[in-house]
Structure 1
Amino acid sequence: MQVTLPHNLGKDQLRHRLRTRSHEIADHIPGGMAQVETEWPSPDRMLMTIRFMGQILAGDIVLEDSSVLLSIDLPPALGFIEPMVESAVRKHGQDLLAAPED
């Protein structure tokens, strides 16, 4: 599954927001039962390990100049949740990229 989110941030600001707010990703996964671990193998790529519904999912976020590309490998047993996950990413992804409220 891949979802592209547009942004108008510079890469430095985008990296900063994702690094400081990545702990919020699990809050936006439907069901509220997910655990997300992240790591940055390069400045423009964040890897995710998502524990959800007894499954361990791999995903990544690639930072591009005008978009963020989110990819998650969903096993066939969880294929039915793809529309829900995509909807949540589109809805909450922009919130995650937005400036945090003071």
Structure 2
Amino acid sequence: MPEPIKVDIPHNLGRETAKSRMTGGVGKLADMVPGGGTVQHRWEGDTLHFTLTAMGQTVASRIDVFDNKIHAEVDLPPMLALFGGKVRDKLMQVAPKLLK
């Protein structure tokens, strides 16, 4: 099993505002995948668990929301692990936009 991609994104919104914005933005993730996809998500405390399914692959992810940052971990299936660097770069671009 490949190591998850881990990313920290700083913010100055506070925990509750960051959670609210993540809730509003997580549905937009499907639009960023070629061919579209589906997103399912649920909150457990300050952790957002979500899966993105597209082109026969399911990517499980979780985002922990803190007062001054979000910590994202993305578990890529072995077939997509080859693209881990590109996925990490895209996550670094997309995650801050979800907080706006």
Mapped to 2, the partners of 1:21 and 1:45 lie a distance apart of 15
Shift of 1:16: 1.1
Mapped to 1, the partners of 2:22 and 2:81 lie a distance apart of 26
Which of the numbers 78, 92, 95 marks the counterpart of 1:93? 95
Deviates more, 1:52-61 or 1:9-18: 52-61
Query: Normalized against structure 1, the TM-score is what?
Result: 0.83
- Residue in 2 that maps onto 1:8: 12
Would the aligned equivalents of 1:49 and 1:58 in 2 still touch at CA under 8 Å? yes
- Residue in 2 that maps onto 1:26: 30
Across the aligned residues of Structure 1 and Structure 2, the Cα RMSD in angstroms comes to 1.5
Alignment: residue pair count: 96
Shift of 1:25: 1.9
For structure 2, list consecutive stretches of 5 or more residues without a partner in the other structure: none
Mapped to 1, the partners of 2:95 and 2:71 lie a distance apart of 11
Amino acid at match of 1:72: V
Q: Counterpart of 2:80 in 1: which secondary structure? A: helix
Amino acid at match of 1:56: T
Would the aligned equivalents of 1:5 and 1:69 in 2 still touch at CA under 8 Å? yes
Which of the numbers 28, 40, 46 marks the counterpart of 1:37? 40
Identity rate, percent: 29
Sort the Cα spacing of 1:93 and 1:82 in 2 relative to 1 into closer, same or farther, 3 A: same
Q: Counterpart of 1:87 in 2: which secondary structure? A: helix
Runs (4 or more) in structure 1 with deviation over 6 Å come to none
Amino acid at match of 1:37: Q
Shift of 1:76: 1.9
Q: Counterpart of 1:76 in 2: which secondary structure? A: coil
